[in-house]
Each structure stands twice: as C-alpha cells, then as structure tokens.
Structure 1
Amino acid sequence: MTHARLKGVFAPIDIDREGTLRSIERLTAATTAVSSAEYLARPREFGRGSLGDWTIIGQRFSHLPKWQQRILEAASRPGVSRALHAGRLLAAAVLLAPTPSKLRAFADGYLALSAAALYPRSTYGSDGSDQVGFQTSSATFVARVIPTQQVQDGAIWYVALQSALAYAVSGWVKVFGRSWRTGTAVPGVMRTHAYGNKRLWEFFKDRPRVALMSAHAMLAFEGLFPLVFLAKGRLTKPFLLAAAGFHTAIAGSMGLGRFLTAFGSMLPAIAYATNDRPKSKLVPAMALTTIAAALVGGAAGGLMRSSRVRRGHHGDHRITCSSGNSLRYQRRRSSRRGAPVLVLEHGMASTPEHFAWIIEHLPADTEVITYWRAGYGPSENISGGYGIDDSGEDLADLVESLPADVGPIFLGGHSLGGLVARHAAQVTDRPIAGVIYLDSSHPGQLSLSDGQRRGADGLSTAFTAVPSSLRVGLGWLLPRPAWVRSLPEHAQGRALDQYRDFRLWLAGSREWATARRRFSRKRGSALAAMTVPALVVTAELTLRGDPAQDRLHADLAGSHRDQATRVVIRGADHDSILTRREHAEAASEAIVTFMSEAAA
C-alpha cells in the first residue's frame, strides 16, 4: 500500500490539451475577476493626488511616441478604465462558464489587450499576478485562434517555460541576498506594514533556525524548479504540490490572494508538458537553440562592448596617479586665458556622460574636465583601493597635474562623487575656489536616514548579482534605462555601453562595499570644517522621498562655515538632476552663478 502511494506521488499527471487550456483560462479568469472587482470597488486609489493619479504616472511614459501616449491617456481616463474593467469581469465570466472555443478566444484576446492598455495606469499598484495574467491570456488566445496541435502545444509550452523561468529567476536572485542566505529575510518580510503578519513575525523572530530552514527551503524550491522537466514527469506532482503550498502560505500570511490563482494558472501547463501524452516539442527545442545562440552572441557582443569601453574616446588624456592608478579624462578647453576650470566627478556605478546636459549648458569659456574614476571605463585601478579617500587622492593628483596658469579650479560631484570632490579639496595642494555637491551622498546617511537604510540591502543585492551576469555576456538583457534615453543623442551610445559592461558594476560594487561600512558608522561629531565656498544642489524629489536628506545636505552646507549656497531643483530626482535637459539646465544656471560669485 505504501509503495503504491509513493508510486502515485511520483507518477506524471494525465491531463489532455483541451483540459490544460481550460484550466489555464479558468484560473486566469478567477484572478482577473478579483483584480477588476478590486479596482471598481476602490476608485479613490486612482483619483487626483493618489499613487494612481495618471497626471503623475503619465510622466513616466513621456519618452514614447505621441500616438502611444494618446492611447495610454485615453485608456487611463477614469470612465474608460472603469468600462475596461467591467468588460474584463464579463470576459472572466465567459471563461469560467463551459463556453465554446470561439467565444473563449474572444474573451482571451480581450483580457490580453485590456491588460496591456491598463497596465501603465496601475503601474504603482500592479504586481506579478497582473503580469502572469497577461502572459497566460495571450498564450491561450493564440491557441484558440489557431487551433492546430502544434500551435496549441507551443502555447502551452510557452506558459510552462515562463512558469519555470519565473520561479528559477526569483530563487537565484534571492541567493545573492545576504538576508535570504542567513534566514533573516522571512521575519524581515513578516514585520513590514504592507505584507507583514505580526503573529508570524513573532514566531520566526524567536526561532531563527526555523526562519533559516524556511528561507533555504524557499530558495531550493524556486531555484531548482526547472528540474521538473526531468525524470519524465516523476517530479511533477512534488513540485506542483510545493508550488501550491507555497502560494497558499503567501496568500494566508501576506494577503496576496491573487498570487494563488495567477501562478496556479501556469501549473496545468507544467503538468501537460511533463506527462506521457504525444505532443509537439518544437517550442522547447527552439527555446534551447535560442538560449544557446543568445549566450554565444551575448558573449561575443560583451567582448566587443568591453573593448569599446576600454578604448575610451578620441582625444582622451591620461595621467598616472601616485597610487599607481591610471586615469583617462576629457578636457573641454577654453580660448579665454584664466577661464575657470570645473572638474566633474561622476557618481557610483555611473558615467562621465551623465554630465552631458550640464556641460552643454555651461558657458563656452568655462573649461570642463570629466574623467573615469579608477576601475571605470578605460581608467585602470592598480592599487585596489575603492574608498572615497582613495578616489579623492587620485582626483587631487589630476588637479595638481593641470597647468599652473589655469583659472580658479572648482570641483563638483554627483552622489558619491560629491564626497570624492570634497576629500580632494581637502588634500590637494592647489587652491580650490569652490566645491559643488550635486544631490550628494553624506558620510552618515545610513545611520541618520531610514530611507537610505531601507534601500541599502537592495543595492547590495544588485551589486552582487549583476556583475556576474554581465561577465558571461548577458549585458544585452539590461534594457536601455530611461536616464540613457534622456541624455543628448551623442552621449547615449557611450553611456549604454558602459552601463552594460561588467566593469562599471564591478567598480560600483567595490565602492559600495567600502562606502556602506563608512556610511553605517554612528557619527558623534559634525563634518570637518572647510574654508572653501560650496554649492549644495538638491533634487526636490530626493527631499520628498526622504525628509532626512534635508538635514544631511544642510550638514554638508554647514561644514563650509557660512560660505555655502543651497539650491533645490524643482521636479528633479536623483538621476534627472543631470540627465533630464530642463533639470540639468537649472542645475547649470546655479553652478554658473556660484562660480561667478566665488571667483569674484
């Protein structure tokens, strides 16, 4: 009896093609019905001034062509959104009922199209269940419209592979997070306001071994999920039971009830793909071939990209620092003798191209120098030092290499670069006319700012995972970020090459490891006083997102002994203060005014 039960547990699940499609459709319909009912029941969450306010969200899509913006704007009007959600409820009812295939095809298509139209409208409130629903609706729509064996099997295989990929990626990303490896992630999630559960938090808090076992079990289940395709279906039931239990636990503890039906809608595809029924295997064969080709092509593309980054730009200058590091820099000269010199220091995991708009809006008679810190781009880090002091010493060497007859020298830096510029001003033998902080970091930000502390773990995880992925040629998977699209056209290609090159992320990870230790120290005294004038430029959205930033930037200004000017750039965030034209222009105007007054 026991042997027979075990044999049943490890036997394939016998489900046919039509049963699989209907199971996917019904579970997707259940998810859709709940999602749309929630939207219709809570209209205030999408009204003026809310996180769902289209006048705010719509700004994120300003880079799209005008015709696409008009479509999204039309779909995001309150009345249109309500009508689309009402239609989704009706389509869900069609799929839950025993309706014919042609009607189901229409319902599937409507769910897919309406999901695409509504997704930007709900960008702050959307989650994995909405994304899964779009994938499954699109697949079943294709299967219904072209009801051949090959196409339907291909659609089911698509859903099955998406499911395995979703679990595997989630699991392996968690592996890079220290909190998951040590088991502190589970009680950490349970103590949050949005997804927490007080009873479970108290349970895991007092039982660290149980929390560790729970975290490791989750990592094993998610990371090893693709093994379900092996062993001819004998692993299907154990993995699907684990998935069902996993999502049931999440639904009960975190209140994410839609995850149960959303991710559950993909599991019938796993059952069909791994059973003994005859089926087309064209899609998995194509997927394996595509993956192999992508890896080979990605590796070749990565080598070419890295070569371009290491070559630098035409007309670059080179300096060898006292540390042994080799710096490459660009110098925009001025025809006016004695013109002021502005040396700009980029941020962590950033590029000199970030300053393209700033430089474009500076007067032509201002000499500007940008460069790559040691370890970035074509600059070489021989010393192995990635701390703020190390980089500040290198910058001091660069400044001291400038001709003696140049005009007043100003040092400016964005984010972490602000502290590098500050340290260089303290240690260089050349007189510095002023220091410019562009939404700068602060040495005590992790001990003084709750917002900065909350973001620190996520940043550490990214810096752990991304360099390894880019080393094996996966840089092409990084989408072109919005800040690249916002730069002047001549700077976009160079910036994107660096962003997708592992050296930028590796240098950033090493800088962050050093900076995080320094930023986390309890600071019992004020910053060292400086007699150099300063300009502290702050992005308005930085202050809104973290009120402690006002105190931190006031501390930077105060350390310059009443010789500091503070400016807030309206509407700018930490990146757009450089990369968005109008924000960079406002920052440039503040810089020009400050340099004129300080030089005078």
Structure 2
Amino acid sequence: MKLPNPKRIAAAVFRPIPVTRTRALGMSERLAALTALGSSLEYLTQRKQNRRGGLNDWTVLKDSYFGSSPFTQKLMNAVSGEKTTVALHTAQAAVSAAMLLPGNSRWRGAGSLFLSATGALLYPRHRYGTDGSDQVAILVQAANGAARLSKDTRTQDALLWYVALQANLSYLVSGWVKLLGEPWRDASALGGVMRTRTYGHEPTYKLVKRYPVAAKYLTHGVLALECLFPLAYLAGGRLARPVIASAGAFHVANGFVMGLGRFVTAFTSMHPMVAYTSAPKSHPAVAGRDDRAPLVAAALLAGASAIGAAVAVQRRLRTRDGWPGSRRLTTRHGNHLQYETGGGNGSAPVLVFAAGMASTSEHFAWITEKIVKETGYGVLSYARAGYAGSDRARTAPYDLAESADDLADLVEGVVPAHRKVVLVGHSLGGEIARRAAGRLGDRLQGIVYLDSSHPDELNRSEAQRESGSRLGQSLSLIVWSLRLGMGIFMAHPEWIASLPLTYRKRVFAQYTDARMWVAAKREWDAVEADFGAFTGPLAPVAGDALVISAQRSVDQSPEQLEMHGEIADAHRAAGRRVESWVVPGSDHDSLLTDSRYALRVADRIIEFAAGSPVETEPETGSDAQAGSDPQTDSDAQTGSMDESTAGAAA
C-alpha cells in the first residue's frame, strides 16, 4: 500500500483559500441568514419567555433602557408589543429562508439590510439568550447588504475587509482577555465552564476530569487559536486553511457542548471574508482586490491611540494634582500619602475617612461636606498609597498591615495630639481602620464601619466568594485596558452623576486611570491571601463603634449581617459603646454616593462622634425608601461648594 506523500498533504493544507468576491458574499449571506432564521424560529416556538413573568418580559426589560433617548424608548416600546414582535420575527424568518436560495441578485442586498434592521430592532427585546451571536449577524448583514447594493468593487472590497477585520478583532481580543485570567493559563477554565448550569455539559466535564493532560492541551490550543488568529494572513495566506478550519471546529464544538448553536453560523459567516482577504493579491480568485481598507484602519487606529494617550496623560495629571489644599506625608514605610484636612476647632474630635478598594476619598463627599458645614468636627481624608496623588515607595510585598501602619502614621503626623480621632472606613477601609485602631492607643475615640469588610467573608459568604473569584480577573483586564489607552472609551458610571458636581471630574479621572486599578489589584491579591487564612475570632477593639450596613448587601448575603455583628462584638468585648444600623434601601456604594442615604449616614456619624445615642430602630414607609431628610436642601443636592471648600471636605 502506497503511503500518502507528506509534501502533497502539506501543500493541500498550507495554501490560500481561493474564494472570489462574489462567492465570499454569497457564503457569508447564507450563514448570517441561518443565524437570523434560527433566532426567529426559536422565538416563535418559545413565545412564553417574552410574556409577563418570562425571561424577556418587556415590562421589566424596558427599565434597562431608561437612560436612552426619548425617541429610542418610543421606538423600542412600539416594536416590543407581542403582535409586532411576532410579525417582525415572521417576516425575518421568511426573508432568511429566501436568502438561502441560489442567486446573486442585488435584491439580496436589500434582504440582508432588512435582516440587519429587524435584528437591531428586536435585539433589545431579547436581551437574555442572544449571547452575542445576533450582534455578529447584524454587523455582517449590514456590511453584506451595502456591498451587494454597491456597483463599485472598491466599496465592496472595503466592506469585505471591514468584516474580516472585525473577525480578527473578535478572536484576538477574546484570546488576549482570556490570557489575562489565571484559569485559562493554568488550564482549569475548560473544566470550570463545563460544570456550570448555563453552559455546562456533564459528559464533557467527566472527560476533562478523566483526561486532564488532554484537557490542558485543548484549553491552551483554544487560547493559542484566538490569540494568533491573524496568522492566517502570514506567508501569503498559507495558514488560512488550518486557522479557519480550527476556528470552525471550535464553534461547532461549542454549539454541541455548550448549546451555542447560533454561534456556529454567526461567527463562521465572517470566515469567507477572512479567506477572501488573506489570499495573496496575485491569486487569480482575488485579482483586482482593493487593499486600502486595512491601511486606513491602521491609520485610524494610530490616530485614536494618540488621542487616547493624550487623554490618559491629562487624566493622570488631574488624578495626581489633588485639591488646592492637598498636602503630603511620608509614612514609616516610605509611602507618600496625599491628604486634605478641613473644619474643626478646639478639642473637637477629628473624623478620618478611609475609602474602600478601587474607591476614592471623594466617595465620602456628601458626608464630609455636611460635617464641615454643620459641625465643629475636623475632617481628614486621604488616598492610600497608589491612589490619586499618593505614591507607594515600599518595595516589600504589599499586605494590609502596611495600609494600617500608613493610616496610623497619618493620624500621628497630622492630627493635633490633644484631639481624639474617629476613624470612618467604608468596605476594605473599615477593616484597615479596625487594624489601625490598636496602633492609635488612647487617641482613638471610635470607629464607624460603613458596610465594612470582614476578614472571614470569603470563607463564610458564598456571594462574596463568587464575586471575589471574578474580581481578580476583572481587575487585571481593567488595568491592561487602561494601560493600552482604552480609558477614552469608558462611559461615565451612573453613580458619579450622583456625587456633588464639584467632585465629578476628578473622580472620573481617577476611575479611568490605570493607577487606581493597579493599586486595587495589589490590594485584592493581599485580601485574598489574608482573608483566606483567617481563623478568628476578632480581637477586642478599645474604641466605640458605629456599625452601619447597607440593606441590599445584607439581603444578598445574610452572612454579612452576622459578620457585622461580630465586628460590633469585638468592641463590646473591650467594654465600649456600640451602635448598629441597617440603612433601608441602600446598597454597598449608594450608601455613600447617593445623597438620599449619605446625608442620613452623616447625621448618624455626627451623633455618634458627639457621644449621643444613635437611633437603631428600622425605618419604614416612604421616608425610609426615599431617603428623605430635612438636611437635604437645594445646596446639598447641587453640590455647589467651590473647589477650595470641596478640597477641605474631601
């Protein structure tokens, strides 16, 4: 028996794919049409999911688009009625089926544009369950439709290049994002996905556990395929066949194992364009192809990168600049802390505010403004090492004790010796304040815990553990994205608009600067190691305590309220005054950023610092839900303080 010639096999595998412009368009149109057909048939056979109480109940989904323009909201409401939705899906199914027929008429362009338009109209109606496949189909159909209707081959080539570049970008970004996550690097990701309820497949999971070495090679192979997808364009397109074939096999496997059937046709609808554009221009199948599109894309990317870098520099300068009254102090570890002081007189206590992880000192703006304007208490806010204008000079690995030392050094170096101190810490800042308490001795009057972390939360709270497992990867992704200049694309989070006006630009500058997220990632790594090793119990704390919890935090994780009780007990064990309060309606962040809750919290802090009893009875009725407060006057709502006053309050 004659063995196959290896050279012939290699020649058959490693050579360009001869796809003409017309054939690439036809193949892509039909694959995208299959995606739309599958989507519509799925809806028409599962209409109960879109009715009241279903997964895609529009009476619930429409709240997600509350911030859209009035025209967009009216349009979505108009097409989201059940009869209209059924009619659109029926029409989409009919046109999709027609698009599968043979032919190269320009009318096919109108069909693709119709599918793209109806897909875009229906997409908000089916927010859950699309998983991105419909988005890909909408993009491809729009490009295909425009290419079909154009008589200029240069325009057609530009549109085909657009789809091909989108394909490369989708794989490339997906791969490099995965590479940032440890589960993909250590090859545990495949097993983790296969055991989930949403995308899991028990037989595959058992195979992964049975053959871990093979699973490791498979996981790393997927990672390499996505990260190196553009290799299809090297060596005159000789790698296009194995790259496209591997990507197609990957999607078919996902369709079978993970139930992502529409992904198969959606993503492979971009592959004909990759085949067409990766072939050398000398190949007869692509003779006359216009290749200016990638050069234009490269120029636009270079321009966008330059603009992104300029914006990043501007935001970094704003982040580090501080307020007019900002000062700096060097701690025992050599770290340089930027801080602001304001208010206070005589022997009144000084309230020292410690922010949470990935938060700013300006998060306390509503609270500090109220204290500065209405009391004689001093206010001291600061940024931990690595945040805002504070620098970390210590070269040893970071641990939470370092931040506790820095906080104690700040108090000793800034607060007059005759004045007592009340530490106010939010989230991780609360735990750092608790650890710093012993370093302050009799200077400590008390601690206010604002939805504070507890060192045993990752061990005892499933909700905290699950969110924590995703946090590290998210922080790594954010850091690298911002370092690459992607901060220019970050939208303003809604909570920033809830802060007083004077603070918003500075907070957004910090939020879009990699510096804050690098510090947060460093802190999170230390938290995981520290909290994971905690054995308890909490040591007694010689200071009064006001433990404030956000209602939604304890609702989502009942263990959190129990742990907050243990924080209070640590102060009781030292014979100190303890008060607790759950703020109705608030969540972990709105406790500070939403004036409805923050001003009420400020009142409790003022009472606590004065030694007055704090009301702990639960509040009910509209007043509790709305967070109404007699102190919430027009000045507080608009945040009308000037920068010098704001800097003192910050």
8 Å Cα contact 1:537/1:569 also seen in 2:
no
Corresponding position of 2:238: 234
Corresponding position of 2:592: 578
Q: Which moved more, 1:459-468 or 1:397-406?
A: 397-406
Q: Unaligned 5+ residue runs, structure 2?
A: 615-650
SS of the residue 2:165 aligns to? helix
Q: Which moved more, 1:540-549 or 1:414-423?
A: 540-549
Alpha-carbon distance, 1:231 to partner? 1.7
8 Å Cα contact 1:340/1:406 also seen in 2:
no
1:507-546 matches, within 5 Å, as 507-521=519-533, 523=535, 525-546=536-557
Corresponding position of 2:355: 346
SS of the residue 1:535 aligns to? strand
Asked whether 1:370 is paired with 2:385, we answer no
8 Å Cα contact 1:197/1:253 also seen in 2:
yes
The one of 579, 582, 588 equivalent to 1:564 is: 579
8 Å Cα contact 2:457/2:464 also seen in 1:
yes
Asked whether 1:296 is paired with 2:306, we answer yes
Q: Distance in 2 between matches of 1:478 and 1:78?
A: 35
Alpha-carbon distance, 1:518 to partner? 1.0
The one of 549, 553, 560 equivalent to 2:564 is: 553
Corresponding position of 2:95: 91
Asked whether 1:205 is paired with 2:209, we answer yes
1:124-203 matches, within 5 Å, as 124-203=128-207
Corresponding position of 1:333: 343
Asked whether 1:422 is paired with 2:434, we answer yes
Q: Distance in 1 between matches of 2:120 and 2:355?
A: 37
The one of 22, 27, 34 equivalent to 1:23 is: 27
Q: Distance in 2 between matches of 1:111 and 1:518?
A: 53
Q: Which moved more, 1:183-192 or 1:124-133?
A: 124-133
1:238–1:41 distance in 2 versus 1, CA, 3 Å? same
8 Å Cα contact 1:445/1:519 also seen in 2:
yes
1:381-400 matches, within 5 Å, as 381-384=392-395, 386-400=398-412
Corresponding position of 2:505: 493
Q: Distance in 1 between matches of 2:115 and 2:451?
A: 43
Letter in 2 for 1:348: M
SS of the residue 1:530 aligns to? coil
1:400–1:75 distance in 2 versus 1, CA, 3 Å? farther
Alpha-carbon distance, 1:27 to partner? 1.4
Corresponding position of 1:286: 296
Q: Distance in 2 between matches of 1:109 and 1:255?
A: 28
8 Å Cα contact 1:341/1:406 also seen in 2:
no
Letter in 1 for 2:202: K
Q: Distance in 1 between matches of 2:552 and 2:60?
A: 13
Question: Aligned-residue CA RMSD in angstroms?
Answer: 2.9
8 Å Cα contact 2:49/2:55 also seen in 1:
yes
Find the structure with the greater CA-based Rg.
2
**What TM-score, normalized to structure 2?**
0.84
Letter in 2 for 1:392: A
Q: Which moved more, 1:585-594 or 1:176-185?
A: 585-594
1:495-528 alpha-carbon deviations (Å, 9 max, x no partner): 22212222112111111111110121252x3222
Asked whether 1:317 is paired with 2:336, we answer no
SS of the residue 1:383 aligns to? coil
Q: Distance in 1 between matches of 2:158 and 2:351?
A: 59
8 Å Cα contact 1:236/1:271 also seen in 2:
yes
Q: Distance in 2 between matches of 1:324 and 1:274?
A: 55
Q: Which moved more, 1:243-252 or 1:13-22?
A: 13-22
Corresponding position of 2:276: 272
Q: Distance in 2 between matches of 1:339 and 1:142?
A: 71
1:408-427 alpha-carbon deviations (Å, 9 max, x no partner): 64322222112112222332
1:108–1:509 distance in 2 versus 1, CA, 3 Å? same
Alpha-carbon distance, 1:469 to partner? 4.1
**What TM-score, normalized to structure 1?**
0.90
Q: Which moved more, 1:235-244 or 1:546-555?
A: 546-555
Asked whether 1:505 is paired with 2:517, we answer yes
SS of the residue 2:341 aligns to? strand
Corresponding position of 1:116: 120
8 Å Cα contact 2:438/2:542 also seen in 1:
no
Alpha-carbon distance, 1:325 to partner? 1.7
Corresponding position of 2:619: none
The one of 18, 21, 31 equivalent to 1:14 is: 18
8 Å Cα contact 1:321/1:394 also seen in 2:
yes
8 Å Cα contact 1:323/1:383 also seen in 2:
yes
Q: Distance in 2 between matches of 1:73 and 1:539?
A: 34
1:451–1:67 distance in 2 versus 1, CA, 3 Å? same
Letter in 2 for 1:445: E
Q: Distance in 1 between matches of 2:239 and 2:113?
A: 33
> How many corresponding residue pairs?
597
SS of the residue 2:358 aligns to? coil
Q: Distance in 1 between matches of 2:605 and 2:51?
A: 39
How many percent of aligned residue pairs carry the same amino acid? 39
8 Å Cα contact 2:427/2:452 also seen in 1:
yes
8 Å Cα contact 2:327/2:338 also seen in 1:
yes
